[in-house]
């Protein structure tokens, strides 16, 4: 029987790249996104790879929407084996004291509450069914401190703590939970950030020992490995993929 994955933020960037790689392994997929055009196009391309896929429009900062994408996945596929808890936003890139409270609430709502709601409903299913594998989206900003991303950094540090604590509670029930911590990566979110803060791109590239940004496909390869590999003893790890960026700090 084919396995099933849920990917939030699956319509673009790292989520999209991961969906394509999971489909190559014959895994059925629920794409969760807020952008209908991207979500539906991703599903169309997945079906061309001869896997089953559905799209669910959801605002992950709303618990009812999260429960709905879990319920619709179960209704359609009958199980949840893998979960890439990926949806997130970076914010405007301003200094913290210049950041509007509305923006702080939005970043926390999507990046932290959305991630918490996701593991709350998905892990409940997985534990009931004997286990499963989750990869949460952290960030280099969840490993070190970085200017202009104070709220984003706070949420990503929290995701790292959430990952470790879930393992402490539920590894005995067959749950594997890891996180990836990409450095600056060529995604639509990062492009928008650099477009708003052009001086930051050159600074970022110079600060990476490999002297370039990462790609969505590179991060997706790591996510796919952590989700689906036979390396079942990897649990509770925050795996950096940043060209040496945080190692050099």
Angle between helices 114-128 and 150-170 (to 10 degrees): 10
Overall domain count for the chain:
1
d(CA 198, CA 75): 45
Which residues participate in catalysis according to the annotation? 152
What is the DSSP code (8-state) at residue 108? I
Structural domain includes residue 247? no
Which of 38-41's residues contact partners 24+ apart within 8 Å by CB, and which partners? 38/11, 38/12, 39/10, 39/11, 41/11
pLDDT score of 230: 79
Question: Two tokens at 147?
Answer: 């200017």
Structural domain includes residue 215? yes
Alpha helix (H) ranges present in 97-215?
101-107, 114-128, 150-170, 188-196, 198-206
Structural domain includes residue 105? yes
* 120 CB-near residues (< 8 Å, 6+ apart): 66
Farthest-apart Cα atoms in the chain, separation: 52
pLDDT score of 96: 97
- Residues 69 and 58: beta-carbon distance below 8 Å: yes
Structural domain includes residue 146? yes
pLDDT score of 186: 87
Report the sign of the C-alpha dihedral through residues 4, 5, 6, 11, in that order.
negative
Q: Which residues of the chain have pLDDT under 70?
A: none
Structural domain includes residue 248? no
Structural domain includes residue 232? yes
Tell me the residue range of the domain where 162 lies: 4-241
Q: What CATH number has the domain bearing residue 91?
A: 3.40.50.720
d(CA 187, CA 213): 10
Structural domain includes residue 71? yes
Structural domain includes residue 78? yes
pLDDT score of 84: 99
d(CA 115, CA 60): 8
């Amino acid at each position: 029987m084919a396995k099933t994955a849920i990917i939030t933020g699956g319509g673009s960037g790292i989520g999209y790249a991961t969906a394509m790689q999971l489909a190559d392994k014959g895994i059925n997929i629920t794409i969760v996104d807020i952008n209908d055009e991207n979500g539906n196009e991703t599903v169309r391309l997945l079906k061309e790879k001869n896997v089953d896929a559905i799209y669910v429009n959801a605002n992950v900062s709303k618990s009812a929407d999260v429960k709905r994408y879990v319920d619709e996945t179960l209704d359609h596929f009958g199980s949840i084996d893998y979960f890439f808890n990926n949806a997130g936003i970076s914010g405007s890139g301003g200094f913290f004291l210049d950041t509007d409270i509305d923006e702080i609430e939005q970043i926390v709502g999507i990046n932290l509450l959305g991630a918490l709601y996701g593991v709350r409903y998905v892990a409940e299913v997985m534990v009931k069914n004997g286990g499963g594998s989750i990869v949460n989206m952290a960030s280099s900003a969840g490993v070190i401190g970085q200017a202009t991303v104070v709220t984003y950094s706070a949420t990503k540090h929290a995701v790292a703590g959430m990952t470790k604590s879930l393992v402490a509670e539920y590894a005995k029930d067959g749950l594997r939970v890891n996180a990836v911590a990409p450095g600056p990566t060529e995604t639509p979110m990062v492009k928008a950030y650099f477009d708003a803060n052009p001086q930051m791109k050159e600074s970022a590239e110079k600060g990476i020992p490999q002297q370039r940004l990462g790609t969505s496909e590179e991060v997706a390869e790591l996510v796919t490995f952590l989700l689906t590999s036979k390396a079942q003893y990897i649990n509770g790890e925050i795996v950096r993929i940043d060209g040496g960026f945080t190692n050099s700090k």
